[in-house]
Structure 1
Amino acid sequence: MGRFHRGGRWALRAVGIVVTLACVLAAAGFLWPQPGIDSQPGATERQLAFVRGALDDGADTTAQSQFPEGHLFLNALYGIAWVQAAHIDPQLRDEALRESRWALDRMESEEGRAVFSAELQPAYGVFWAGWTNWLRGAILSLDATDSAGVQRFSDRSAEIAQAFATAESPFLQAYPGQAWPVDSTVAIASLRLHDHLFDDRFTQVIDSWVVQVKERLDPATGLIPHQVSPLDGSPHTGARATSQTMIHRFLPEIDPSFAAAQYARFRELFIAHPGGFGPAVREYPHGVDGRGDVDSGPLVAGISLSATVVGLGAARVNGDAALATAIGAEGELLGLPINLPGSKRYAFGALPIGDAFVVWSSTAHLLTGTPAAIEPDLRWWWRLPWLVCLGLLAVAPWTPPLIALIRRRRP
């Protein structure tokens, strides 16, 4: 019996050592300096290597069965992340061109277009048209010597511009009878990118779009709404973080002044510190409660984890270094990162589309200008609750034996 008792004690001590060591490593990752908004994580190439491996194994097909646009999103985010990374580190240019072109081919394949309607204007709807056009323009921002690619970008941009110019609403349909403003924001950003790279051709369409959007803001928040009437663009669903964070990634590419005002309002209504922890992004504005869905994922104390990840990219392109740093640090703490010599993945690599969103957000970089810096206004002690929890977890395995030792030593 004594041998078994001693063996049990050593097993508990081993578990305690593992728990304490895990907490120390987690704290180290949490406190490790995050990259500035004009740089990117050192693990970017390893993150992209994991996503590429997942794509080779059919992760985009799997994602399509889990999310409405999983196939297109996974390829788009992978390709765009490569371009963004190459803008920050020009040594990655050749690999970025090869990989982003490969991703674009997959987006434009029969499988990539399968869930979209060719009858819409622009063809296959504004979601498919906007993301493919943005990636094509992003590729040309690295290499504009491909004359066929330049012509295709010009033609597709003209098709998108024509659809906006003739529509009654600034928010075009992504699917028959359904319109989300975020999709049109991406498409308009691709037109601005065209004018930034080449001739100033679509300014009138872009400026008219901004005017019409300002006329159709969510009356409750003053922000661009989540879902609208496909007929006239009137709001159906108020602002939600799932689309807001994506909108704020692209709006600075279109109109920096409008974007700055919208981002300030978003920050006021959606950034939260539930229970003292955070910062994180609520799915619904303060004072409004709602359910999660396939876009937001399950909500924890009203927080959308997916919107918080995308919020990292929005913070970077809006010059919000404080929020970008905080979200990045929390991701290293809560995202269960696994670092290997050739790859890095989060949540044990169980959801590659999540890794694609992380690397896209952590490399977010304006292609049409430079962000204006925002004065930090986060709580200076935002790290403290996380560190206290880690400290309590680290000492928890040693508390019972310490109490027993104190009791034995009493007279």
Structure 2
Amino acid sequence: MKERVQVLTSKQKILRLLLCIVLFTVVTSFVPAWWCGIGAHNWFDGSKEMQTAFARSIEDHIQVKLSMDDFGTGDELFDREWLFCTYILSASGFAQMAKQHPQRQDHYIKQMEICIEKLLSDELQEFDEEQWNSKAMETLDSDALHHGAYLAYLNFVLSLHRTLKLKSPYAKTNDLITKALVRRIRKNKIKLIETYPNEVYPPDNCLAFASIGLHAQATQKKQPLLKEFLVNFHQRYIDPKSGLIFQAVDSSSGLPIDEPRGSGTTFGLYFLSFIDLKLSKQLYQATKDKLAESILGFGVVREYLASTYEATGDVDSGPVVVGYGVSATGFMMAGARIHGDRDYFNKIYRTSVLFGTSLSSGGKWQYVTGGPLGNAIMFAMITAISEKVKK
């Protein structure tokens, strides 16, 4: 019996082609986002199992002896900064774990203390010491040497630790640094401290403010100057048009010398959330309105406003691809969780999985391509505490 061969008409061929295009579009639009988003809701809701698995991986990182050789920025200063910040963000994440899982609070406080001991070591002070030609802890009585790169970051962790353990072995150091920071900010005519000599970055000052506010919370002592500092910060260092934080300002006049940017704003809103949820939320909403986008279900954040997005990134922004910044996108995850934006959290999480390549093995979870600093950052961001809990 002769087979019947169906001959497609031109109309049928076009319809079949259109169907293939539609199917391809549907698959490429939804399947990758769906796959990368598996588990996002659990992370947003603070799954103990998932957070604990990530914490175990970070514990492994801080137990080994990391060095600047573990970071490949190509610049010795930046390698040392990244080593330092790995312990800062790890400690912040452990503090959040201690507050969200009180039954294991002592364990996570101990992990914080491992980080603090590293931060107090001579090795991790070298990057700051070389820039200032002096030791930060030996010049606390001087107002000419701000040492913001070391003291603001270290004191944030010390104050955060003290909110968990009032009788902290680092209480005296915390008191001395807080006193020095308050005095230096008050006496400086632009009401900020310098990260390095003649270099002032408003995002770095967010840690100084947070450390002062947390110190006041821990000791239950009012710090009247903090409100003045924050009002000045809002009026002078947040761009009135975009609502974003200026990345850098002149050390003498306080006038902006860099654009308002995504990396600095998302970075700042995370640390400010510890002491001023209202301001943090304003910064989050400004970032969402001006910089945040979604591509095929994946959340991305621009480093610069659309009018200047062609500008290249730097060590703070990480790679900037077609205007989208790696750091800004990563830090935005914390903002979304803190301020209850489940939808955008899910989108940012998908992006982190797509490019970070998550791996779960042996009761541990981590980003394969993140390295020590990348994982420390994401650990702090993904375990950030919701404003509902903070209140």
Give the TM bin, normalised by the shorter chain: 0.7 to 0.9
Are residue 135 (structure 1) and residue 157 (structure 2) matched?
yes
SS at match of 1:273: strand
Counterpart position of 1:16: none
- C-alpha distance 164-342 of structure 1, shift in aligned 2 (>3 A): same
Question: In structure 1, which of residues 30, 33, 39 is the aligned counterpart of residue 46 of structure 2?
Answer: 39
Are residue 332 (structure 1) and residue 332 (structure 2) matched?
no
Counterpart position of 1:53: 60
Q: What aligned pairs does 1:12-411 form with structure 2 within 5 A after superposition?
A: 27-35=34-42, 37=44, 39-40=46-47, 42-63=49-70, 66=73, 67=78, 69-116=81-128, 117=132, 118=135, 121=143, 125-146=147-168, 148-203=169-224, 205-216=225-236, 217-218=238-239, 220-274=241-295, 276-289=296-309, 290-348=311-369, 351-365=371-385, 370=390
- C-alpha distance 252-32 of structure 1, shift in aligned 2 (>3 A): closer
**Alpha-carbon offset, residue 80 of structure 1:** 1.4
> What is the identity percentage for the equivalent residue pairs of Structure 1 and Structure 2?
21
**Alpha-carbon offset, residue 27 of structure 1:** 4.4
**Alpha-carbon offset, residue 342 of structure 1:** 4.0
Q: Deviations over 1:271-309 (max 9, x none)?
A: 0235x5532111112232211222222222211122211
Amino acid at match of 1:326: K
Amino acid at match of 1:105: E
**Alpha-carbon offset, residue 322 of structure 1:** 2.5
Between 254-263 and 222-231, the greater mean CA deviation after superposition: 254-263
Does the Cα contact within 8 Å between 1:122 and 1:129 map onto a contact in 2?
Answer: no
**Alpha-carbon offset, residue 63 of structure 1:** 4.8
- C-alpha distance 195-101 of structure 1, shift in aligned 2 (>3 A): same
**Alpha-carbon offset, residue 91 of structure 1:** 2.2
C-alpha distance in 2, partners of 1:185/1:65?
A: 27
Amino acid at match of 2:385: H
Does the Cα contact within 8 Å between 1:122 and 1:160 map onto a contact in 2?
Answer: no
C-alpha distance in 1, partners of 2:98/2:175?
A: 23
Does the Cα contact within 8 Å between 1:123 and 1:129 map onto a contact in 2?
Answer: no
**Alpha-carbon offset, residue 188 of structure 1:** 0.5
**Alpha-carbon offset, residue 36 of structure 1:** 6.1
**Alpha-carbon offset, residue 312 of structure 1:** 0.6
SS at match of 2:245: coil
- C-alpha distance 241-345 of structure 1, shift in aligned 2 (>3 A): same
Amino acid at match of 1:150: A
**Alpha-carbon offset, residue 111 of structure 1:** 1.0
- C-alpha distance 207-105 of structure 1, shift in aligned 2 (>3 A): same
**Alpha-carbon offset, residue 29 of structure 1:** 4.8
TM-score normalised by L of structure 2: 0.80
Amino acid at match of 1:251: L
Number of matched pairs:
346
SS at match of 2:185: helix
SS at match of 2:49: coil
Counterpart position of 2:17: none
Counterpart position of 2:8: none
Counterpart position of 2:16: none
SS at match of 1:339: strand
Amino acid at match of 1:140: R
**Alpha-carbon offset, residue 366 of structure 1:** 6.6
C-alpha distance in 1, partners of 2:177/2:187?
A: 16
**Alpha-carbon offset, residue 24 of structure 1:** 8.0
C-alpha distance in 2, partners of 1:101/1:314?
A: 26
- C-alpha distance 149-184 of structure 1, shift in aligned 2 (>3 A): same
Does the Cα contact within 8 Å between 1:133 and 1:153 map onto a contact in 2?
Answer: yes
- C-alpha distance 273-31 of structure 1, shift in aligned 2 (>3 A): same
- C-alpha distance 366-105 of structure 1, shift in aligned 2 (>3 A): farther
C-alpha distance in 1, partners of 2:66/2:328?
A: 21
